[in-house]
Amino acid sequence: MKGFFITIEGLDGAGKTTQIKFLKEYIERRGYDVVVTREPGGTPISEKIRNIILDKENSEMCPKAEALLYAASRAQHTTEVIHPAIKAGKVVICDRFVDSSLVYQGAGRSLGLEAIKNINDFATNHIEPNLTIFFDISPEITVERIRESKEIDRLEQEEIAFHYSVYNEYKNLANKYSNRIKVVNANNSIDNIKNDIEIVINKLLEA
Ligand code: TYD
Nearest protein CA to atom 5 of ligand 1, as residue: 12
Distance 122 CA to ligand 1 centre (A): 20
Residue 71 CA: nearest ligand 1 atom is: 22
The confidence score (pLDDT) of residue 71 equals 98
Nearest protein CA to atom 22 of ligand 1, as residue: 101
C-beta neighbour count of 59 within 10 angstroms: 8
Q: Is the CB of 39 under 6 A from ligand 1?
A: yes
- Ramachandran area for residue 77 (φ above 0: left; ψ -120 to 50: alpha; else beta): alpha
Distance 156 CA to ligand 1 centre (A): 9
Residue 39 CA: nearest ligand 1 atom is: 24
Q: Is the CB of 9 under 6 A from ligand 1?
A: no
Q: Is the CB of 96 under 6 A from ligand 1?
A: yes
DSSP 118-129: HHHHHHHTT---
- The answer to whether residues 86 and 92 touch, using CB atoms and an 8 Å cutoff, is yes
Q: Is the CB of 70 under 6 A from ligand 1?
A: yes
| Paired residues of 92 in beta bridges | 5, 35
Q: Which residues of 143-180 are buried (b: 16+ CB within 10 A; e: fewer)?
A: bebbeeeeebeebbebeeebbbbbbebbeebbeeeeee
- The answer to whether residues 121 and 77 touch, using CB atoms and an 8 Å cutoff, is no
Query: Tens-digit pLDDT profile for the chain (207 aa)?
Result: 789 999 999 999 999 999 999 999 999 999 999 999 999 999 999 999 999 999 999 999 999 999 999 999 999 999 999 999 999 999 999 999 999 999 999 999 999 999 999 999 999 999 999 999 999 999 999 988 888 887 778 777 778 899 999 999 999 999 999 999 999 999 999 999 999 999 999 999 988
Nearest protein CA to atom 14 of ligand 1, as residue: 155
- The answer to whether residues 56 and 98 touch, using CB atoms and an 8 Å cutoff, is no
Q: What are the residue boundaries of the structural domains of the chain, listed by start? A: 4-206
C-beta neighbour count of 185 within 10 angstroms: 11
Assign domain 4-206 to its CATH architecture: 3-Layer(aba) Sandwich (3.40)
User: Rg of the chain over CA atoms, in angstroms?
Assistant: 16
Q: Residue count of the chain, please give it.
A: 207
| Paired residues of 181 in beta bridges | 132
Distance (Å, rounded) from C-alpha 24 to C-alpha 177? 24
Q: What pTM does this model have? A: 0.95
The confidence score (pLDDT) of residue 146 equals 86
